[in-house]
Amino acid sequence: MSSQRTTRKYKVYLYVYDLSYGAMNNLSSYILGCNVDGLWHSSIVIYNTECYFSNQTGMSGSRPGRYNKGMKPSRKIYMGLTEIKPNVFIEYIKGIEHRYRSIDYSLTRYNCNTFSNELCQFLLGKEIPDYIKNICTEVLSTPTGQEIRPVVEFCQDIADGCQNLLEMLNNN
C-alpha cells in the first residue's frame, strides 16, 4: 500500500479595521465628493498570529483580534491557503524587518496596507483588494484630498522627525 503524503495548508486572512469607526462612510461624499467606505487599516492573520505594521511599533504580531486594544475588525477576508511553513515565514519576516520599522512608516506612502499586501504576495502570490491597498491614493486624489495633502505630509514630516529624535536618544 502506498502512503500519500499531504502537505499541510494554512489559512490566510486579511483583517480590515475602519479607523474612522464609520465616519468615512457617512461623511466622505460631503467632504471628499466621493464615497469612501472606511479608513482602512489591515493586517494578515496566519498561524494564529495577527501580523501588522504601525507607526508606533513597526512590524508586530499578536493573537488575532488584539490589535489596537482589542478593536474588532470590520471585515475578516479569507484570502486563501498557503503551504508555506511557519519557519519559512519567520525567516522571511526576519529578512524584511529592516524595512518595516516604526521610523519607516508613512501614513500616505508606506503603511499597514503596504505591509499586508507584501505578506499576502509572499504567502499566496496575490495582492490584497485595491479598495484597501489604494485607500490613501483614493482619498488624496480628490479635490479636498489635494487641498489637505500638504498639511498631511507636513504632519507626517513632523512625526517622522520626532520619531527619529526619539530613536536617536534611545540609542545613546
Whole-angstrom distance, CA of residue 136 vs CA of residue 109:
8
**112 part of the active site:** yes
Catalytic residue among 34, 51, 98, 112: 112
Catalytic residue among 41, 51, 120, 136: 41
Three-state helix/strand/coil letters over 43-69: EEEECCEEEEEECCCEEEEECCCCHHH
Residue 14: its H or E element: strand 10-18
Report helix angle 86-96 to 112-124, nearest 10.
140
Return the number of other C-beta atoms located less than 10 Å from residue 120's C-beta.
Answer: 23
**41 part of the active site:** yes
Residue recorded with cell 514630516: 157
Cell (9 digits) for 171 = 540609542
Cell (9 digits) for 7 = 502537505
Return the number of other C-beta atoms located less than 10 Å from residue 82's C-beta.
Answer: 20
Show which residues are catalytic: 41, 112
